């Protein structure tokens, strides 16, 4: 848990230090935009034998635009994986997005919700930081590192509708 707080502090410090960056004048994701993301992750070693790698989908809607300082979105996500047993995770997410230029974006996401694992269920939580490269205003590739119940490293595709 201590590593999570250190990671979050580093992300916040980076965001604040670069908030006035003159190159950050272009937000591909801003208020009113809708992002859909599909990811596949590397299985966590502590979860047993992996039969289906972790994969997930999420949707995020832009609710606040901070101009040079980025944007904020909220949404929902679903993750699934099959280790020795099935994992299904449903979460509400919030994400902060900062664009260094029209092509490169850094983001931090937190989530909380419900997990179901064969005979067990309960509260889930996740935190990720990542970067995306936008080929154009609507399509990007992304990589994220952090922690969820099924993966700590994932990569995927983003579509900005």
pLDDT at 23: 42
Q: Which of 154, 157, 160, 146 is nearest to 1 (CA)?
A: 146
pLDDT for 135: 93
- How high does pLDDT run on average in the chain? 84
Closest CA to 72 of 38, 9, 29, 117: 29
Topology adopted by domain 2-160 = Porin (2.40.160)
CB atoms within 10 A of CB 72: 18
Q: Are 94 and 63 in contact (CB under 8 A)?
A: no
Q: Find the mean pLDDT for residues 31-38.
A: 92
Determine contact, residues 104/85, Cβ cutoff 8 Å: no
pLDDT at 17 over 60: no
DSSP 8-class letter at 63: E
For residue 10, what pLDDT is reported?
A: 59
Model-level pTM? Answer: 0.79
Please report where in the chains the tokens 């679903």 appear, as a residue.
78
What is the mean predicted confidence (pLDDT) over 88-117?
A: 92
pLDDT in tens, 64-85: 988 878 899 999 999 998 877 8
Instruction: Over range 88-102, report the average pLDDT.
Output: 92
Percent of the chain residues past pLDDT 90, beyond the cut: 49
Q: Give the residue extent of every domain in the chain.
A: 2-160
Q: How confident is the model over 109-135, as pLDDT tens digits?
A: 999 999 998 888 899 999 999 999 999
pLDDT at 48: 62
């Amino acid at each position: 848990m201590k590593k999570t707080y250190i990671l979050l502090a580093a992300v916040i410090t980076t965001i604040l230090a670069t908030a006035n960056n003159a190159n950050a004048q272009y937000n591909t994701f801003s208020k009113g935009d809708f992002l859909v993301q599909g990811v596949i992750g590397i299985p966590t070693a502590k979860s047993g034998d992996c039969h289906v790698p972790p994969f997930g989908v999420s949707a995020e809607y832009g609710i606040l635009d901070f101009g040079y300082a980025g944007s904020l979105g909220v949404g929902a996500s679903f993750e699934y994986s099959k280790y020795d047993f099935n994992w299904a995770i449903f979460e509400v997410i919030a994400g902060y997005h900062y664009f260094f230029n029209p092509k490169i974006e850094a983001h931090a996401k937190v989530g909380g919700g419900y997990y179901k694992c064969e005979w067990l269920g309960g509260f889930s939580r996740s935190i990720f930081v990542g970067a995306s490269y936008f080929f154009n205003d609507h399509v990007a590739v992304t990589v994220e590192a952090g922690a969820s119940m099924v993966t700590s490293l994932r990569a995927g595709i983003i579509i900005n509708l």
